[in-house]
Chain A
Amino acid sequence: MPETLMVGAVAYDAKVVPIWEGIREYFRDAPVEMDFVLFSNYEAQVDALLGGRIDVAWNTNLAYVRVHRATAGECRVLAMRDTDVEFFTLLVGRTGDLTSASELRDRTLALGSADSVQAAIMPVHYLRREGLEPDRDVRLLRFDSDVGKHGDTGRSEREALEAVLGATADAAAVGAVSWDTFVRAGEVPPGRLAPFWTSPAYSHCNFTALPSLQSDVADAWTAHLRAMDWTVPEQRRILELEGLRQWVGPQLDGYRDVFDAVDEQGIAARW
């Protein structure tokens, strides 16, 4: 049994350092301790996991799909945030304008980064379900900023919303959690933007491990992770920063639509 699990995470924001320092500290003297490595993008992190240089990756859903494909489905999901289960994408328009997704026909939809599942990949996927073929029935305006970070920075979603405010787009696709973050941070001007459509639920991030990771080690690490407690102030600080109240077990059904969307859109294993 290795003494310390090496966990990878992507540094999409300065707060990532205190989050992982806090989690590492929480794991001090646990049955399985951990350390972490920060990557500048998910491709490098996935490569490091597949190459055995890290034991566990804190992955977005897209990064998870790639590991899943590369391991022929043998990889293991250890845990997710409660907020990763039933994740949604919202379509946001100008207040009083659009009331349904179908009204986007012949209008312009602003999308976030091409590698953002919430702000680009799933919106395209679900629009098709609504009977709208992107680029034919709906014009797409893409904001491919911070590519490699899978939309984690929120920058491309802000740009998409700006486009709606500036009337260069009629709607923007944003993650529901991002929208709530923007609203509660006072970044959304009152009364000018309104969400008008909520996507079906899908799953977001997870801790992914290779099948070669010993299961007793993985189980011990996961059990300690899931024991983090919102009511303990020092642990709550970390949970708040990472955007959850509780770590939960894997709920893999929620990734089915993500797999379908990646296949359907022919998204390459790397770019």
Chain B
Amino acid sequence: MVNEPDTGSPAATFDAEDLDLAGGLTFVLDVLLSDVHAGEMIEITSRNAGLIHELPAWARGTGNELVATEPDGARWIHRIRRGERPSLMFRDRPELAVEVPDRRDGFGTRDWLIGSAARIPERADPSTGFAPRGAEVEPGSPAFPFPLNDRDRVWAANVASLYDQATAQQWDASTDIRWDALPQLPNHLERAVAQVMTHLAENEYAALYVPARFIPRIHPHFTEVVLFLSTQITDEARHIEAFTKRALAGGGGLGRSAAITQQSLKSLLEQEDFSQASFLLSVLGEGAFLDYLSFVERFAPDPVTADIVRRARVDEARHVAFGVEHARYFLAADPDRAGVLRTAVEQRAAFLSQTSGATPHVEEALVILAAGGLRPGSLPDGVRAVRELHESMHRHRMGRLRSLGFDQQTAEAISELHTANFM
């Protein structure tokens, strides 16, 4: 037992009363010692005689030094110096005090940039693994195989706000839709709706699987992106559910899926670069989808169909906003990267050029939907409406591309090359 007098004043004191190590004093000691620097002393007062015998091995086992044990009446005073080689080798003390957020109107994710959690790295350290951003990670932790460790490869300026919007705007496709209000439609109209729903659903599978492939590749310190993409996946799951249910709810049943659609979606799934995939899926594909969903809402023959596509469009608008802002962040880091995005479009177009671009069963369903049926007097209006749909998709694509800094000619080229399948 050590009994050297020590003149240093303790950095912390604690009256342990009768507590023994097994009863929880080990945790008290851990807490007190984690709050002081190596070399600093803490002082424990105790009435527990057993501690005299327990503390030497505890101190050695935890890498601390029992400097002195002195009797003090019916008590003992134990002085413990924090060691240089503690059991866990943290470099720094954890932050003891940080600013707190204004929580009067809730606690938004964009407001959680506090203390060390606010340090979004430009290049993330693979060995911080799954530790939340801002947590202190012990050296020697294993490096995780995240390929996406650079902020400019994943980030978007508005991602925290988009995540907050996403969590606030979730809906339930089973109960929020007034399924009981679905009227009996004429057979050919119901089948047209069901075909459109089938096409929407199969596109949404791609919109679910593509971000899902990238989440495990993104370093968790870009957590806002990971969380947002998780909501995107949940959104797409709900859309798949709602579109499939709409196809089934009115007796139309699931329609057809064309090889060109499958080729187009497969080429999305095969993208290996997050920024290229995000550009193809969210900027171009989901961007076109906004027009597609507006079209279906406008010509929906029943309130249930209109409600579903309206809700889906609100969700899709967030995905497009993320895609556009990520592309902006990606391009801001290096304007030459515009070529990277253009290449992705060209390669996909080259791949798809080996197939016919037409999806006549979808065009047909859209025309019937816009015409409200097969009445000869209405069909020309339907044909015109579908042509306008393609034009508005192109116009909106051009707007997004120009806002990202693509020149008119390049934007035209990219828009023209984008798949006829919409997504």
Cross-chain contact B50 with A240 (CB below 8 angstroms) = no
B58: which A residues are within 8 A, CB to CB? Answer: 180, 183-184
> Per-residue CB proximity of B41-59 to A under 8 Å, as 1/0?
0000000111011101110
Cross-chain contact A240 with B53 (CB below 8 angstroms) = no
Cross-chain contact A245 with B50 (CB below 8 angstroms) = no
Cross-chain contact A196 with B57 (CB below 8 angstroms) = no
Q: How many B residues are at the interface, by size bracket?
A: 20 to 34
Cross-chain contact B85 with A233 (CB below 8 angstroms) = no
Cross-chain contact A195 with B139 (CB below 8 angstroms) = no
Cross-chain contact B48 with A190 (CB below 8 angstroms) = no
A176: which B residues are within 8 A, CB to CB? Answer: 53, 56-57
Q: Find residues 37-90 in chain B having any chain A CB closer than 8 Å to their own CB.
A: 48-50, 52-54, 56-58, 60-61, 63, 85, 87, 89
B140: which A residues are within 8 A, CB to CB? Answer: 233-234, 236-237
Cross-chain contact A88 with B22 (CB below 8 angstroms) = no
CB proximity of A173 to chain B, nearest CB, Å? 12
B21: which A residues are within 8 A, CB to CB? Answer: 180, 183-184
B20 interface residue per 8 A CB criterion: yes
B26 interface residue per 8 A CB criterion: yes
Cross-chain contact B49 with A99 (CB below 8 angstroms) = yes
Q: Find residues 171-202 in chain A having any chain B CB closer than 8 Å to their own CB.
A: 176-177, 179-181, 183-184, 186, 188-191, 193-198
CA distance A83 to B52 in the complex (A): 18
A212 interface residue per 8 A CB criterion: no
B89: which A residues are within 8 A, CB to CB? Answer: 230-231, 233, 236
Q: Find residues 1-58 in chain B having any chain A CB closer than 8 Å to their own CB.
A: 1, 20-24, 26, 48-50, 52-54, 56-58
Q: A183-B21, A233-B139 are in contact. Are A195 and B50 (CB under 8 A)?
A: yes
Cross-chain contact B20 with A240 (CB below 8 angstroms) = no
B1: which A residues are within 8 A, CB to CB? Answer: 198
A95 interface residue per 8 A CB criterion: yes
CA distance A39 to B315 in the complex (A): 65
CB proximity of A58 to chain B, nearest CB, Å? 20
In the complex, which residue of chain A has the Cβ closest to the Cβ of B59?
A180
Contact of A193 among B22, B60, B141 (CB under 8 A): B22
B49: which A residues are within 8 A, CB to CB? Answer: 99, 194, 196
A111 interface residue per 8 A CB criterion: no
A243: which B residues are within 8 A, CB to CB? Answer: 61
Cross-chain contact A184 with B56 (CB below 8 angstroms) = no
Cross-chain contact B61 with A198 (CB below 8 angstroms) = no
Q: Find residues 228-263 in chain A having any chain B CB closer than 8 Å to their own CB.
A: 230-231, 233-234, 236-237, 240, 243, 245
CA distance A189 to B21 in the complex (A): 10
Q: A181-B61, A191-B23 are in contact. Are A245 and B85 (CB under 8 A)?
A: yes
CA distance A181 to B61 in the complex (A): 8
Cross-chain contact B85 with A179 (CB below 8 angstroms) = no
CA distance A90 to B54 in the complex (A): 8
CA distance A195 to B49 in the complex (A): 8
Cross-chain contact B53 with A198 (CB below 8 angstroms) = yes
Cross-chain contact A183 with B54 (CB below 8 angstroms) = yes
CA distance A243 to B62 in the complex (A): 10
> Per-residue CB proximity of A74-92 to B under 8 Å, as 1/0?
0000000011000010100
A184: which B residues are within 8 A, CB to CB? Answer: 21, 26, 58, 61
Q: Find residues 108-132 in chain A having any chain B CB closer than 8 Å to their own CB.
A: none
Contact of B60 among A83, A190, A197 (CB under 8 A): A83
CA distance A198 to B20 in the complex (A): 16
Q: Find residues 136-192 in chain A having any chain B CB closer than 8 Å to their own CB.
A: 176-177, 179-181, 183-184, 186, 188-191
Contact of B50 among A95, A186, A230, A237 (CB under 8 A): A95
Q: A190-B23, A191-B22, A233-B89 are in contact. Are A198 and B50 (CB under 8 A)?
A: no
CB proximity of A18 to chain B, nearest CB, Å? 15
CA distance A67 to B138 in the complex (A): 42
CB proximity of B21 to chain A, nearest CB, Å? 5
CB proximity of A199 to chain B, nearest CB, Å? 10
CA distance A198 to B1 in the complex (A): 9
Most buried by A among B50, B52, B89, B140: B50
Most buried by B among A83, A88, A90, A184: A184
In the complex, which residue of chain B has the Cβ closest to the Cβ of A90?
B53
Most buried by A among B24, B61, B89: B61
B138: which A residues are within 8 A, CB to CB? Answer: 233
Q: Find residues 385-417 in chain B having any chain A CB closer than 8 Å to their own CB.
A: none
A-B CB proximity, top 7 nearest: A233-B140, A194-B50, A190-B23, A195-B53, A176-B57, A188-B22, A180-B57
13 contacts between A and B (CB under 8 A): A90-B54, A99-B49, A183-B21, A183-B22, A183-B26, A184-B58, A190-B22, A190-B24, A194-B50, A230-B85, A234-B140, A236-B140, A240-B87
A194-B48, A198-B52 given; 6 more Cβ-contact pairs under 8 Å: A177-B61, A191-B23, A233-B89, A233-B141, A234-B140, A245-B85
